[in-house]
A = this chain, B = another copy of it.
Amino acid sequence: MTTTISAQSLLTRELLARRRPGYSLEAPFYLSDTILQADLEHIFGKHWIFVAVEPQVPEAGDYITVDFGKHSILIVRDDDMQVKAFHNVCRHRGSRLCASQKGSVGNIVCPYHQWTYDLTGKLIHAKHMGDDFDPTGLGLKPVHIRSLAGLLFICLADNPPEDFEQMAAEMTPYLMPHRLMDCKVATQVDIVEDCNWKLTMENNRECYHCVGNHPELTVSLYEYGFGYQPDAQNAAGLKRFEDILASNHARWESMGLPSAEIDTLDDRVTGFRTQRLPLDRAGQSQTLNAEVASKKLLANFVDPALGGLSFWTQPNSWHHFMSDHIVSFTVLPISATKTLVRTTWCVHKDAVEGVDYTLDNLTAVWNATNAQDRRLVEESQIGIATGAYEPGPYSPFTEGLVEKFCNWYVNRLSALTKTA
């Protein structure tokens, strides 16, 4: 066992060390169970992972469960309205506590022998254990959880990365005006992609593939906003986009909506990027006609044309905050070749379905785009799994953020496996 494990670590370290900048990663990063285990242990086990939004647990006793890798995490709002996270496992004989993806409880009762925990995780009842039984030390195992303006991040490590605070300080002014905590979940859709989670993330970090694959998304999206090789034919278009960007940023900043780009994708432990980008046509929202999907705007917004505030985090999420709705994506590995993509659409809590919005219209763009991306990343997985794949060159104009994702990943995994 010892021999095998250290040989595997050796393989991982060799692959990390010989990574060629500017090129896609070698095949084992997308195929190997060993590397998936390293990803789960070091990337998903020691960083802040976006898993949910506060509107998923609006009331005391509301809970959700989030599963990834071998973990099942229970997130619950306690009686003091604090959001807590625990490992979803009974301390008696290990049964999963909550099998449902969401629900509402008074206490947390194990279905097997009815061991009972309160919403702070304390074991408050266990029958037949004898008069000397000491429940101390048998409470639910806690998991670190933080809310960033309503976005819930967890960290499984004992000592989470401290620069979450820095991200929170920088991002709160961008996110808070949209008042996610005053939203409700309109709907949530899970899809399972037959690919490694990193292919899902890399696909998210470029729009090189958008023009050929995403007719619905590109209704409202300015392709120029995601990188373009300049040439004589597109010089006027690029210039026009820069002008639109500058004038909108000035307008939004004057409204108290920070809009300028922040990019720490590959130079911090808790890497992220944000930018408020104008939308094309009606300019209001990521819908099939670029108009708002919900007539009840978020917060106290009056102007629907606020563009899309995008927020991308390493290693596993992206979000688009618009005037009328917020769409959040979390990417969770199931195995080396299976990945959950969970998409959550939030609208104002007072918006009425059928009156202010319809689910079909609200979800049309991203349900279509997700289905298209799914096919792309699955075809990538299939091709990479063949013996013939070798890393190819990234476009210097359109794949810079893919490169930054790989930089962050390789750097973090290298740092954390160095002493393993």
Which A residues fall within an 8 A CB radius of B? 1-4, 7-8, 10-11, 24, 27, 69-72, 87-97, 99, 111-114, 127-130, 133, 138, 141, 202, 208-209, 212-213, 227-229, 375-376, 379-380, 382-393, 395-398
Q: Is A388 a contact of B141 with CB atoms below 8 Å?
A: yes
A96 touches B383 (CB 8 A): yes
Residues of chain B contacted by A383 (CB below 8 angstroms): 72, 88-90, 94-97
The reply to whether B395 and A90 contact each other, CB–CB distance below 8 Å, is no
Given contacts A128-B227, A386-B88, contact A112 B71 (CB under 8 A): no
In the assembly, how many copies of this chain are there?
A: 3
Secondary structure of the A side of the interface?
Answer: loop
Neighbouring B residues of A130 by C-beta, 8 Å: 229, 395-397
* Residues of chain B with a CB closer than 8 A to A92's CB: 24, 392-393
Cα A93 to Cα B228 with chains together (Å):
18
Once bound together, how far apart are the Cα atoms of A44 and B72, in whole Å? Answer: 32
Q: Are A386 and B70 CB-contacts (below 8 A) given A2-B7, A127-B229? A: yes
Known: A91-B392, A213-B111, A229-B127. A72 touches B386 (CB 8 A): yes
Question: Which of B88, B141, B387, B392 is A71 in contact with, Cβ under 8 Å?
Answer: B387
Which residues of the other chain, B, contact A382 by a CB distance below 8 angstroms? 72, 95-96, 99
Q: What residues of B have a CB within 8 angstroms of the CB of A24 in the complex?
A: 92-94
Judge whether B386 and A87 touch: CB under 8 Å. yes
CA distance A1 to B33 in the complex (A): 13
CB of A67, distance to nearest CB on chain B (Å):
9
User: Are B7 and A11 in touch, CB under 8 angstroms?
Assistant: no
CB distance from A32 to the nearest CB of B (A): 11
Task: Sample 23 A-B pairs with CB under 8 A, ordered by A number.
Answer: A1-B8, A3-B4, A24-B94, A71-B387, A72-B383, A89-B383, A89-B388, A89-B389, A94-B389, A95-B376, A95-B379, A111-B212, A112-B376, A112-B379, A127-B229, A127-B395, A128-B227, A128-B228, A128-B229, A129-B229, A130-B229, A130-B396, A130-B397
Listed from nearest, the 9 A-B pairs whose CB atoms lie closest are A87-B388, A96-B383, A1-B7, A94-B389, A94-B384, A128-B395, A92-B392, A94-B383, A89-B383
Closest CB-CB distance, A133 to chain B, in whole Å?
8
CB distance from A135 to the nearest CB of B (A): 10
Inter-chain CA distance A202–B92, complex, in Å, is 13
